[in-house]
A and B are shown apart, each in its own frame.
Chain A
Amino acid sequence: MEKVEVPRELKEEAKAHDMYLYPIEKDTYELFFGPQHMATENFSIILKMDGSRVEKAIVNPGFLHRGFEKLAEQRPYFTNIALLLRICVPESDVPENIYSMAVDELVGWEVPERAQWIRTVVLEMARLSAWMFWIFGFGNELGLYTAGQWAVAYRERFMRLFEELTGGRVYHIYTIPGGVRRDIPGDKWLRQLRDTVEYIKAKMKDFDEILFDNYIVFERTEGVGVMDKKFALDHAVTGPNLRAVGIDYDVRKDDPYLFYPEVEFEVPILKEGDSLARALVRRYEIEQDLYILEQLLERGPPSGPYKVQDARLKALPRFKVPKGDAYAHVESTKGDFGAYVVSDGSHKPYRVHIRGPSQSHGVTVLENLLVGARLADVPVILKTLDNCPPDIDR
């Protein structure tokens, strides 16, 4: 291989930014991984490779930066719902809910039981459709495309249910401070949801056969990207990734909200901390989510209004919130998702801060786990960490 002469200025600039590999020595080279690569979704990693081993990984986010938090300061309270849900696309109900819960706390509204039930069901449906989307990504990264195609087809059922409930397929814009925007369309919708839960439950056997029981999955993920307890706690890892390390933390159990205290479910925990454990924790959680939805449906929606009865809701653009601050968080499929809203008494929030799980999973944790991994394992580690690029760039 011929050596390429690089001008001195470029050398210095590259060294200063620590971005471009220089000098080209032995087998070392630089690889731009993403954003075209499907596993990275919308951000990229600059990999410094030694042969097929990763020497150093530098995460290069920013392709989706829209400044959500700043934009939220310039819009009325209710309008922000249509903005903040874009922080996590696969489960857009989570940002909606955390923001609404924080504003509820600020105003001092007690959300009606029916609205709480609907919110819980919507959150669980969002979790399930996000799991389906995760299976799609995970299967594809391993080269098991069949499982991915099935998962997307099953996700479509949830999208159809969301469409009937909220009027939108991906961006639901459904949960608002004080309740939800529409009532349940009727018993037919509940029946459809029950059928879908049963259907997914039956289909999980097929997923086990083709994906989770598959020896390829075991070969590819066992011992890849291992995290230990101390590392996980130091780097603010939450959600399924933390549970795969052996730490029992679930916001739904430890800081219950909405209808979760009245629902029975188990938090699956594994100890290995490798990619296989992370994938299997997610597999077990699908089971739990289906079980939670079953219980909620068995209980049925409580009667009553689906929205707070308040005269202020009639003049939304000038809806004012009393001074104060509030924090609310929920358990999403990515991890602990929280919103901190500060109000100065006007009709726009003074500050909205979103605590997303992907900031730690997608940047610091990923950079550390990738060191020493093979190139083929990069998408596996990336997908088992399951981050959400818009959340990194928020």
Chain B
Amino acid sequence: MLMEEVKTPKVKVVTVKITKSFVKPWLGIKYLFKKPVTIKIPYEKIEPAPKYRGFHTLDWKKCIGCNFCGQICPARAIEMTWIEGEKRPHPKVDYGRCTFCQFCVDVCPTGALDHVENYYLTTAGFEEDLELYDWIPIEPKKVQELNEKFGDYRFPVERIEKLEGNTYRYHLRDGDIVEFKILGYGLKPPAAAKPASKKVEPKTKEKKE
């Protein structure tokens, strides 16, 4: 009806003719006898695509603490953290802010920061869980091992325990523990980070005086 007013097609295009019909809408009933497209969660599940942008992993040995990830982050979710026993700061990712754009992974010059397909960002609602999604990513090997064991794409850490003296204990899902002491945040090393140099500084000052 309205199709006549459309310009005559120059190219071979499949065109449809829209006509007012009273009968045709009832043809949709045939879908009653077809299988539904929805799936029954949790009995069925869809696997995320490979390279789906999920949680981060960090190879602590490769990380050089250049803060490229912190600079590119659109949500400013990354904070460089000084850890006892590590020469360079490592990124701490806050998933309350992270938009999962994974630009940080793209810019990482050494390939230390990477991501896995794990995407479940949920908590049970306890107060202690609120601190769960603010972590320093752990080794990719460990996350892959956990994925192979559980395969449900949840957060690899079950509970983050804060001990005295700024020591954090990550309780992984398989019972393993990652424990480290955070000395400070920011790009410059905190005063406590280099106890040796701290001792040296006052000495030089004294000499100058």
Contact = CB atoms under 8 A, between A and B. Distances in A.
Main secondary structure of the interface of B (DSSP, over half): loop
Interface in A206-232: 206, 208-210, 212-216, 218
Nearest to A85: B101
A33 B41 CA distance: 35
Interface string B168-203: 000000000000000000000000000000000000
B13 A208 contact: no
B99 A82 contact: yes
Given A168-B100, A270-B5, A287-B15, A206 B28 contact: yes
Nearest to B54: A167
Contacts, number: 128
B106 A287 contact: no
Interface residues of B, number: 43
Nearest to A164: B49
A375 interface: no
Interface stretch (B16-24, B85-93, B125-133, B149-157): B16-24
A168 B53 contact: yes
B102 A167 contact: yes
Interface residues of A, number: 57
A208 B18 contact: yes
B74 A75 contact: yes
A181 to B, nearest CB: 7
A280 B18 contact: yes
A283 B15 CA distance: 10
Contacts of B51: 167, 182
B124 interface: no
A288 B13 contact: yes
A355 interface: no
Interface stretch (A97-105, A261-269, A296-304): A261-269
A81 to B, nearest CB: 8
Interface stretch (B55-63, B65-73, B138-146): B65-73
A314 B101 CA distance: 17
Given A78-B72, A82-B101, A146-B28, A213 B9 contact: no
29 contacts: A78-B103, A79-B74, A79-B103, A153-B37, A163-B49, A167-B52, A168-B53, A185-B50, A201-B14, A208-B16, A209-B25, A209-B27, A210-B25, A213-B19, A213-B21, A213-B24, A214-B21, A214-B25, A265-B13, A266-B10, A269-B6, A270-B5, A283-B16, A284-B6, A287-B15, A287-B16, A314-B109, A315-B68, A317-B107
Q: Which 4 A-B pairs have the closest CB atoms?
A: A317-B71, A82-B101, A167-B53, A210-B28
Given A80-B74, A181-B106, 15 more contacts: A76-B71, A79-B103, A163-B52, A164-B49, A167-B49, A173-B102, A206-B27, A206-B28, A213-B21, A214-B21, A271-B5, A283-B16, A284-B15, A284-B16, A317-B71
